[in-house]
Amino acid sequence: MSYATLPQPSPLAASRWLRSYYFTRAGFSIVWVAAAFTLGRSMPAIEAALLIAYPAWDAVANIVDAQRSGGLKANPSQALNATISVLTSLAVVIALGYSLNAVLAVFGAWAIVAGLLQLITGARRWKTGAQWAMILSGAQSALAGGFFIKQATGAATPGIADIAPYAAFGAFYFLISAIWLAVKLARTGSRR
């Protein structure tokens, strides 16, 4: 990973990038949720792959977004989020060897930290627009993480269907942000 600071994009370029980025994040999450509820619930190998892939995708997405937004050095919350997400994927691999309760606990800890980092990123980007949804998403992620940890200590064996609603809410927030920015950009374009 390159930690050089790159030139900051113009506000218009930043909004365009974030619109595309948020649509992509929403699309991935929707596909992931669909796969979780269909293939993941009945095929343990697919379930395991999906559980590993979700935080790995988050890491890649944070790196790409940070690079397009001035570099990892200029976006420390995303650099840290990417690192935590990679470590989470590795922790999920290990936790799968123990139990799905352990996997849910790993997801819970990740959701708390990643949510708080997303909240920080949203606050830092406030002027680009649509960040209220990212801040709300980050806060909800942190709360969901606490719920996952509590649920992981229970007697019931969790599964991917317990995590899929978390990803669905993430898709919802990314979609709201993408649409908000698309409307903002359309209005900006109509004034020129």
Identify the pLDDT of residue 7: 64
Token couple for 134: 């990212």
Judge whether residue 4 has pLDDT over 90. no
Per-residue model confidence as pLDDT tens digits over 33-67: 999 999 999 999 999 999 999 999 999 999 999 99
103 sits in which H/E element = helix 100-124
Higher pLDDT, 3 or 91: 91
Identify the pLDDT of residue 2: 52
Phi, psi of 69 (to 5 degrees): -115, 30
Q: Mean per-residue pLDDT for 155-179? A: 94
SS3 of residue 93 by DSSP: helix
Per-residue model confidence as pLDDT tens digits over 88-142: 999 999 999 999 999 999 999 999 999 999 999 999 988 877 789 999 999 999 9
CA atoms of 148 and 138, how far apart (whole Å): 15
